[in-house]
Amino acid sequence: MARTTGSNGARTHAAIRAAATGLIYRQGFAAMNLRDLAAEVGIQPGSLYNHIDSKQALLFDLMQDHMAALLAGTDAALDAAGPALMDRLRAFLDHHVLYHMERREEIAIANSELRALEPENRARIVALRSAYEARLTALLREGVAAGLLSVPDVAVTAYAMLAMLTGICSWYRPDGRLGKEELVALHTALALNGILRRQHQA
C-alpha cells in the first residue's frame, strides 16, 4: 500500500482499520502483528500508537463498530417497516441477510475472534450481541402472542434462524447466479416458512 505521509489523522486512522480488518480476516488476530499492519498502511510501526492504544484495543474497536453498525441498521429497517409485525419481522430478516452478504470480513472476525478479546471487552461485545438477538426474540414472541407464528421455543428458534441466515457470508459471491435481492427474498422466505402457522403460509 502507498505511504500515507501527509494524510490527515482521520484518513490514516481509517486506513489502519481497513488494513487491520483485512489482515485479521486473512491471518487471524493472533498471527497479525503491528509491524505488518504498519507496513500495510505505509507508516512507521511506532506511528500506529498515534491512532490505536494497543492491538487488543484495535480488535475491540473493530468488533464494537461492527455491532453498532448492525444494530443501527436493524433499528432503521424496523422503523421503516412500520407497525405491522410481519413487516417488521421481514425487515429484520432482510437486513440481516443483506448485511451479512456485504460485510464478509467483519462478520468472520466477529464470529471467530470473540475468544481473542480480554474478559471485559468480551463481555461488552457479548452484551451487544445479546441486544441484537433480543430484537428478534421480541418479534417472535409478539408473533406467537398474536397467533401468527408457531414457535415452541423462542430462544432456540432465534438462534437457529440467525445461524441459517448468517451462513450466506461463507459462500455468497457478487458475480453469482442470483442477485442480492433474490437471495435476500429466498432466505427470508425459508426462515419464515419454518415458523408461520399453516394458515398464514403462502
Q: Compute, in degrees rounded to 10, the torsion defined by CA atoms 19, 25, 31, 37.
A: 0
Q: How far apart are CA 42 and CA 33, in angstroms?
A: 14
- Kindly tell me if the per-residue pLDDT of 200 is higher than 90: no
Q: What is the pLDDT of residues 119-154, one digit of tens each?
A: 999 999 999 999 999 999 999 999 999 999 999 899
172 in the same domain as 144: yes
Q: What is the pLDDT of residues 156-199, one digit of tens each?
A: 999 999 999 998 888 888 888 988 899 999 999 999 988 887 65
Q: How far apart are CA 109 and CA 105, in angstroms?
A: 6
Q: What is the CATH number of the domain that holds 93?
A: 1.10.357.10
- C-alpha cell belonging to residue 35: 509491524
Structural domain span for residue 184: 55-200
Q: For residue 2, what pLDDT is reported?
A: 40
Q: How far apart are CA 144 and CA 86, in angstroms?
A: 11
Q: Would residue 161 count as lying in a domain?
A: yes
Taking the chain, what is the end-to-end CA distance rounded to the nearest angstrom?
52
98 in the same domain as 183: yes
- C-alpha cell belonging to residue 9: 489523522
In total, how many domains does the chain have?
2
Q: Would residue 138 count as lying in a domain?
A: yes
- pTM, whole model, 2 decimals? 0.87
Q: For residue 198, what pLDDT is reported?
A: 63
Helices then strands, counting H and E runs in the chain, come out as: 8, 0
Q: What is the pLDDT of residues 3-13, one digit of tens each?
A: 444 446 788 88
Strand partners, 63: none
H/E stretch holding 138 reads helix 119-145
174 in the same domain as 94: yes
Q: Would residue 4 count as lying in a domain?
A: no
